[in-house]
Amino acid sequence: MAFTEVQERNRKKYYYRVITFRQDKKVKNKKKYLGVNLDNTDLTKAEKEADIELGVLNALLTEDEVLELEMIRKEYLKQPKATFDNRYETFVSQFTHDSTAIEGNTLTLQETAVLLFDEIIPSAKPLREINEVLNHRKAFDRLLAYDRDITRAFILELHELVMRDTLKPERNSQIGRFRSVQVYIRGVDWVPPAPLDVPLDIRNLLSWYTKNKKKLHPIVIATYFHIGFEIIHPFIDGNGRVGRLLMNFILHQNGYPMINIPLERRFDYYDCLLAAQVKGALRPFIDLLLDLLRKSQLLF
Catalytic residue among 136, 159, 226, 233: 233
Interaxial angle between packed helices 283-295 and 218-232, expressed in degrees from 0 to 180 and rounded to the nearest 10: 120
- The SS3 assignment for 114 reads helix
Those residues whose C-beta lies under 8 Å from the C-beta of residue 292, and which sit 6 or more positions away, are 259, 260, 261, 262, 265
Active-site residue flag, 233: yes
Smallest CA-to-CA distance from 162 within 140, 190, 185, 188 is with 140
Those residues whose C-beta lies under 8 Å from the C-beta of residue 258, and which sit 6 or more positions away, are 91, 95, 248, 251, 252, 300
Alpha carbon 38 to its chain centroid, in Å, reads: 29
* Contact indicator for 285, 265 with CB cutoff of 8 Å: no
Calculate the alpha carbon distances from 98 to 14, 105, 144, 196, 294 in Å. Answer: 46, 9, 19, 32, 18
Query: Counting beta carbons within 10 angstroms of the beta carbon of residue 27, is it exposed (0 to 12), middle (13 to 18) or buried (19 or more)?
Result: exposed
CA distance 64 to 4: 27
Those residues whose C-beta lies under 8 Å from the C-beta of residue 170, and which sit 6 or more positions away, are none
Alpha carbon 211 to its chain centroid, in Å, reads: 18
- The SS3 assignment for 91 reads helix
* Contact indicator for 161, 133 with CB cutoff of 8 Å: no
Active site residues: 233
